[in-house]
Amino acid sequence: MSIVWNPNRRLINIETKNSTYQMKIDDYGNLIHTHYGGKLQDTDMSQELVYLDRGFSGNPYEVGKVDRTYSLDYLPQEYSCFGTGDYRITGLHVRNTDGSKGCSLHYKNHYINQGLYSIKGLPAIHDSSDDANYETLCVEMTDDVNNLEVTLIYSIINDLDIIGRSVKLKNSGNKALTIDKVASMNLDFTYGDWQWVRFTGRHAMERNIVRGDIYQGVQSIGSVRGTSSHHYNPFTVICEKETTENMGQCYGFSFLYSGEHITEIEKDQTGSTRILVGIHPDDFCWKLAPGDELELPQVLLSYSNEGLGTLSRNYHKVINKNIVRGKRSKERRPVLINNWEATYFDFTGDKLVEIASQAHDMGIELFVMDDGWFGKRDDDNSGLGDWYANEKKLGCSLKELGEKINAIGMDFGIWFEPEMVSEDSDLYRKHPEWAVKIPGRNPNLARNQLVLDYSNPEVCDYIIKSLSDILSSAPISYVKWDMNRSICDKYGNSLDADRQGEFSHRYILGLYKVLETLTTTFDDVLFEGCSGGGGRFDAGMMYYTPQIWLSDNTDAINRLSIQYGSSFGYPISTMGSHVSASPNHQTGRNTPFKTRTTVAMAGTFGYELDITKLSDDEKKQIKEGINLFHQYYDIIQQGDYYRLSTPEDKCTAWAMIKEDKSEALISAVYHGVEANQKPTHIRVPGLDLNSNYVVEYVGDEVACREISGAALKNGGISINPSRIEYDSYVIHLVRK
């Protein structure tokens, strides 16, 4: 049993394999957070709380006359409310009917269920088995004055050290309430000097790691762009200053949400730290009418006392096992070729068939037709919304094109951008009111396109119908679901004025509904997410699309840092990764073919270049690359992932190790060759310490040697130096 209730101490312990999470109902009915971290072995940590009469930290009325040391302003709380004595950042901001802003929650009840909690209309960790590994705790809190009921929900996966937290609100009173802010989780650390690791960036340069101290004051990252964004990923980490890849305490927070999010951190007057994760409040205001319920998205917490590597692997496992869904997500992912960087908008059906035919000869399995196949779409100024094939451009119907590709021996995939509309489109001419804009104002254009109002169920139904028609009309086995702008000028035509603050969240609920319907109806189709590459690369999206185009940047060397940053919260089975042309279209950099292959192989592998223009040698390298990928598929897609270098190193290295430790693949890429080079030496943990491994350089003439798992961990191996800039090595280790 993971969840243990001690009625005498009024203590709830959530036990996972390596962590204890503890909360206590105190004498005043407040739910105090007493611990999250390593195991406690049955100690009530509330005994270690220090109560002091702190100036300017007031006391709840029922306590203040007898005890001035008790204050909600410094006590660690399981969930915090604005306006009633806690002056830190707080999770719940409620406006009452009389206009006052304040709320105060007390413990009412709790219950424990087998299995994981599913959230209506939102992604959540799932598992159909009734394994004891999965349990749910629901703690019911209530505000006796406005009759707001708040349920704190904890979904536990014991063996992965995962706690999925979410919150549910219910207005049990007879007056409407306005929710200005509702975090999905609140976590207070009474002690500790923590650092915050977050993943920031921009379009085509996503998820650069930033690690810094937490100081007294408030720090935050988030998005009000309608998407989780390229700029601030909704996965972050708190760790000790000393924490490294392989040692030290750390905590992860992965928000299963693809819309506007915020992570806020405050270190307060006493040195304690509060973390809140939830929907961004700047763009959120929800009217909770009497009887209404509102369920908020889930945050996955994980704890590791063995460093960041173990923490990441917890997330890799939970995403692969308990987040991605559908039969295609569990099946072998095909090696694909996408025509975007090969042709952009300039193609004919014949050109596509030619690419597909040559691709098939090289061993590629799936041909993906990108943007430009529908409506009037020869550049990015028109056509979005008109989801019917441009038969003139293709020279045939979509069905016929799909059949031609199938006849070559390849699967056929297709690109959509279903959340958008161009002003120059039949859909916009018919339904201008479906585009998001504020009445009386001209909306911002981005890529000369507007956003469809997914907060309107009529729009969602239309999209479901038009995409279903296309998917049923042709032999389509893969969909790339794109979304190429940030959202602003938010206003929902179908919403009353007092519900406009609900637009952004309702947009995401609409999106999830459309995705749920399409992915379950067309469960033979593999869906890949995309938002100008990695603008919506989050665990919420992975619930619907098991792989996501990682970045519009296909430069292998830039990809090293994008893949590095992304690997902290996400497994490589989710990272769309392609070999593209050299010089690269985004950076102009020349990189050896071998290195482009090595880098792309750390993801869902594919190609995105005009293969009809390649030399025989390059074509040979494609064949060899695909053979290699097939040969090591299980290690790559299902192995344990280890980061072996830091962003400062001039050789980026990583390893994938089979779960049974019988085999591993190490990849190393040089980017900063110097004269008279120092040797590159890396230590590889995670192997069988009592066995020897044969070290083989794949495709390179370097003599095999033997090394023990213990030596790999404690001594390490030297990687052959190279005098070629951007050279790379793939090293295969096999247990003897």
SS3 content of the chain, % helix, strand, coil (to 5): 25, 30, 45
Q: What is the distance between the alpha carbons of residues 650 and 646, in angstroms, rounded to a whole number?
A: 9
Active-site residue among 295, 538, 552, 640? 538
Under the criterion CB under 6 A, does residue 143 sit at the interface with ligand GLA?
A: no
The answer to whether 257 touches 295, Cβ cutoff 8 Å, is no
Q: Which of 91, 259, 501, 533 binds ligand GLA (CB under 6 A)?
A: 533
Q: Which of 70, 549, 641, 654 binds ligand GLA (CB under 6 A)?
A: 549
Residue with tokens 């100690």: 43
Under the criterion CB under 6 A, does residue 552 sit at the interface with ligand GLA?
A: yes
* Number of Cα atoms under 13 Å in the Cβ half of residue 256: 31
Residue 404 is which amino acid? Answer: K
Closest separation in Å from C-beta 388 to ligand GLA: 18
Q: Which of 245, 283, 295, 482 binds ligand GLA (CB under 6 A)?
A: 482
Closest to ligand GLA by CB, 282 vs 379, is 379
Closest to ligand GLA by CB, 372 vs 501, is 372
Closest to ligand GLA by CB, 188 vs 608, is 608
Under the criterion CB under 6 A, does residue 530 sit at the interface with ligand GLA?
A: yes
How many residues bind ligand GLA (CB under 6 A)? The answer is 11
Closest to ligand GLA by CB, 345 vs 388, is 345
Under the criterion CB under 6 A, does residue 371 sit at the interface with ligand GLA?
A: yes
Under the criterion CB under 6 A, does residue 532 sit at the interface with ligand GLA?
A: yes
* Number of Cα atoms under 13 Å in the Cβ half of residue 102: 10
Site string for ligand GLA, 338-367 (x = CB under 6 A): --x---------------------------
Phi/psi for 373 (5° steps) reads: -95, -5
Under the criterion CB under 6 A, does residue 484 sit at the interface with ligand GLA?
A: yes
Q: What is the distance between the alpha carbons of residues 328 and 331, in angstroms, rounded to a whole number?
A: 5
- DSSP labels, 191-234: S--EEEEEEEEETTEEEEEEEEE--BEEEEEE--SSSS-SSB-S
The SS3 of residue 12 is strand
Which residues, including other chains, have CB under 8 Å from residue 69's CB and lie 6 or more apart? 51, 52, 53
Closest to ligand GLA by CB, 422 vs 728, is 422
Total Cβ atoms within 10 A of residue 48: 11
Residues 563-592 within binding reach of ligand GLA (CB under 6 A): none
Under the criterion CB under 6 A, does residue 373 sit at the interface with ligand GLA?
A: no
Under the criterion CB under 6 A, does residue 415 sit at the interface with ligand GLA?
A: yes
Closest separation in Å from C-beta 370 to ligand GLA: 5
Residues 90-109 within binding reach of ligand GLA (CB under 6 A): none
Closest separation in Å from C-beta 447 to ligand GLA: 8
Q: What is the distance between the alpha carbons of residues 355 and 718, in angstroms, rounded to a whole number?
A: 41
Region of 337 on the Ramachandran plot (φ > 0 left; ψ -120 to 50 alpha; else beta): beta
Closest separation in Å from C-beta 549 to ligand GLA: 5
The answer to whether 587 touches 347, Cβ cutoff 8 Å, is no
Among the listed ranges 129-137, 448-456, 487-495, 528-536, the one in contact with ligand GLA (CB under 6 A) is: 528-536
Residue whose beta carbon is closest to ligand GLA: 371
Among the listed ranges 159-167, 530-538, 674-682, 700-708, the one in contact with ligand GLA (CB under 6 A) is: 530-538
Closest separation in Å from C-beta 379 to ligand GLA: 10
Under the criterion CB under 6 A, does residue 307 sit at the interface with ligand GLA?
A: no
Closest separation in Å from C-beta 446 to ligand GLA: 12
Among the listed ranges 48-56, 405-413, 529-537, 567-575, the one in contact with ligand GLA (CB under 6 A) is: 529-537
Closest separation in Å from C-beta 477 to ligand GLA: 18
Q: Which two tokens stand for residue 583?
A: 């010089």
Under the criterion CB under 6 A, does residue 266 sit at the interface with ligand GLA?
A: no
Relative orientation angle of helices 457-473 and 503-521, to the nearest 10 degrees? 20
Q: Which two tokens stand for residue 270?
A: 């006493």
Q: Are strands 217-222 and 235-240 parallel, antiparallel or unpaired?
A: unpaired
Omega cis (within 30) before 546: no
Closest separation in Å from C-beta 585 to ligand GLA: 11
Under the criterion CB under 6 A, does residue 628 sit at the interface with ligand GLA?
A: no
Phi/psi for 404 (5° steps) reads: -65, -40
Closest to ligand GLA by CB, 13 vs 233, is 233
Under the criterion CB under 6 A, does residue 161 sit at the interface with ligand GLA?
A: no
Q: What is the distance between the alpha carbons of residues 680 and 244, in angstroms, rounded to a whole number?
A: 19
Closest separation in Å from C-beta 602 to ligand GLA: 19
Active-site residue among 180, 240, 403, 618? 618
Under the criterion CB under 6 A, does residue 541 sit at the interface with ligand GLA?
A: no
Which residues, including other chains, have CB under 8 Å from residue 554's CB and lie 6 or more apart? 341, 578, 580, 584, 585, 586, 608
Closest separation in Å from C-beta 429 to ligand GLA: 22
Which residues, including other chains, have CB under 8 Å from residue 722's CB and lie 6 or more apart? 670, 673, 729
Query: Vertex 303, ends 47 and 107: CA angle to 5°?
Result: 45
The answer to whether residue 618 is catalytic is yes
Sites of contact with ligand GLA (CB under 6 A): 340, 370-371, 415, 482, 484, 530, 532-533, 549, 552
Could you list the active site residues? Answer: 538, 618
